């Protein structure tokens, strides 16, 4: 039996690389090569591979127990995780619903919002509003609120219709381009919308699009004014990626439902959380069984994942973590400023620890560009996955400014040396 890889066309894909060990910001391959992990292993790894504190916490918990039925039992790692989150989240967010990954954290939030409105006298509110170029996961509800396209077209018959808003593309675009269509949709559908979902500050898979803080704040405030629940999908943006522990800290607006995963455990074990306000929780609190949230899975509240998340959050109390975020942010800006003048760059930008460059490519160049850049960067010791013509670097926080500069130097050299459109092979 052979492995079927995620997001991979096995008919033309390059062979998988075997990892023998991972330490810090690097992957050591079985063939002896050492590779800089330029995307934190799909945006997961925060402090670095092999973080001793997290590994020790998991090992200690594993000697006690790993899993119980969370519907009937609780345990210290789960309670301690809630206590750690109380230290860093607004007091209005009072309840944690445990799941297993980012897609299900979003799926739970959507089901909560929908059922909350049905059970609190807002039965007319049956629509979800989301934005163009959004990506919220691969389960059916999460796909429904994501941008329709290659990710979703094969499953169109399984997805529900939503209210979708147009948005700006560049942070330099006027504020109106980010909020005008939202305002129009509110005028038409505002009374029917139960929740607005947004990736605050940085849309990931849609092209690493950086949102103006004022636009996210405007959307959040208007939704709340209309009694519409606000869902922030911080599966990717949470745990330091945008420069603060959570992106919403920079916006000045607290969501009603907050979706967390990826960096929640430092990238060590799978886990998802949907953290909600007491108002949302009270919409389900009743004696009638049919008013409960009908969601769960066998590994809910896994004790090993909880222990990893607790250890991760304790690391955030150390001031040097936030210092390193600032160092990475400055290194990204400096590296992007040093991009060779001859490159066909449409826009360069950064958001916290993420550096991003959009390249101007001929219309049929995208797929070939992604494969060739991946291969040539790997030969140069840097692992990245492009988003079409968008190249980004999102390293673990243990990466040094020098390593970031070197990684971008490899990326720029690879793109400079690509064959022309007419000579590529």
Helix ranges, 122-270 (H): 140-144, 175-189, 213-225
The dihedrals phi and psi of 126, each to the nearest 5 degrees, come to -125, 10
The one catalytic residue in 262, 358, 392, 397 is 262
**From CA 107, how far away is CA 295, in angstroms rounded?**
9
Burial of 178 (0-12, 13-18, 19+ CB in 10 A): buried
Residue 285 is among the residues annotated as catalytic for this protein: no
**From CA 145, how far away is CA 132, in angstroms rounded?**
9
Residue with tokens 């590779």, as numbered in its chain = 35
Residue 97 is among the residues annotated as catalytic for this protein: no
**From CA 401, how far away is CA 374, in angstroms rounded?**
22
**From CA 264, how far away is CA 57, in angstroms rounded?**
14
| Number of H-type helices and E-type strands within the chain | 12, 16
Instruction: Indicate the length of the chain as a whole number.
Output: 425
> How distant, in Å, are the alpha carbons of 45, 68, 153, 238, 242 from that of 400?
15, 40, 40, 21, 17
The one catalytic residue in 37, 114, 127, 135 is 135
The one catalytic residue in 2, 7, 290, 364 is 7
Question: 76, 20, 88: which is closest to 50 by C-alpha?
Answer: 20
Residues sharing a CB contact under 8 Å with residue 164, sequence separation 6 or more, in sequence order = 129, 130, 131, 132
**From CA 384, how far away is CA 154, in angstroms rounded?**
27
Residue 278 is among the residues annotated as catalytic for this protein: no
The one catalytic residue in 37, 100, 138, 233 is 233
Residue 392 is among the residues annotated as catalytic for this protein: no
Catalytic residues: 7, 135, 233, 262
């Amino acid at each position: 039996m052979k492995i079927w890889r995620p997001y991979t066309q096995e008919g033309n894909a390059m062979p998988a690389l075997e990892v023998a060990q991972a330490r810090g910001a690097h992957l050591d391959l079985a063939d002896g090569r050492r590779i800089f992990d330029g995307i934190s292993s799909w945006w997961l790894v925060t402090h670095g591979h092999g973080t001793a504190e997290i590994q020790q916490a998991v090992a200690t918990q594993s000697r006690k127990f790993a899993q119980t039925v969370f519907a009937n039992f609780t345990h210290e790692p789960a309670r301690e995780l809630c206590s750690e989150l109380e230290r860093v989240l607004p007091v209005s967010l009072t309840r944690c619903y445990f799941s297993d990954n980012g897609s299900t954290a979003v799926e739970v939030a959507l089901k909560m919002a929908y059922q909350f409105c049905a059970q609190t006298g807002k039965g007319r509110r049956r629509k979800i509003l989301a934005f163009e170029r959004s990506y919220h996961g691969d389960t059916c509800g999460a796909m429904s609120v994501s941008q329709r396209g290659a990710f979703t077209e094969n499953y169109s018959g399984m997805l529900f219709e939503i209210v979708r808003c147009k948005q700006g593309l560049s942070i330099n675009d006027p504020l109106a381009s980010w909020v005008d269509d939202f305002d129009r949709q509110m005028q038409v559908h505002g009374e029917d919308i139960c929740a607005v979902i947004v990736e605050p500050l940085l849309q990931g898979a849609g092209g690493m699009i950086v949102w103006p803080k004022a636009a996210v704040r405007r959307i959040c405030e208007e939704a709340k004014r209309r009694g519409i629940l606000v869902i922030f999908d911080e599966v990717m943006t949470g745990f330091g990626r945008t420069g603060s522990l959570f992106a919403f800290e920079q916006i000045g607006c607290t969501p009603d439902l907050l979706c967390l995963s990826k960096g929640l455990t430092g990238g060590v074990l799978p886990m998802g959380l949907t953290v909600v306000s007491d108002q949302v929780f009270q919409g389900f609190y009743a004696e009638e069984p049919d008013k409960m949230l009908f969601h769960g899975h066998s590994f809910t509240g896994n004790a090993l994942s909880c222990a990893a998340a607790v250890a991760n959050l304790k690391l955030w109390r150390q001031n040097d973590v936030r210092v390193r975020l600032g160092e990475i942010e400055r290194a990204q800006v400096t590296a992007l400023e040093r991009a060779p003048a001859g490159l066909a760059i449409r826009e360069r930008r950064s958001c916290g620890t993420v550096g991003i460059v959009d390249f101007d490519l001929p219309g049929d160049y995208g797929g070939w560009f992604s494969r060739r850049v991946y291969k040539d960067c790997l030969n140069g010791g840097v692992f990245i996955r492009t988003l079409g013509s968008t190249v980004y670097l999102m390293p673990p926080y243990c990466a040094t400014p020098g390593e970031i500069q070197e990684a971008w130097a490899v990326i720029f050299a690879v793109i400079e040396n690509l064959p022309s459109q007419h000579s590529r092979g």
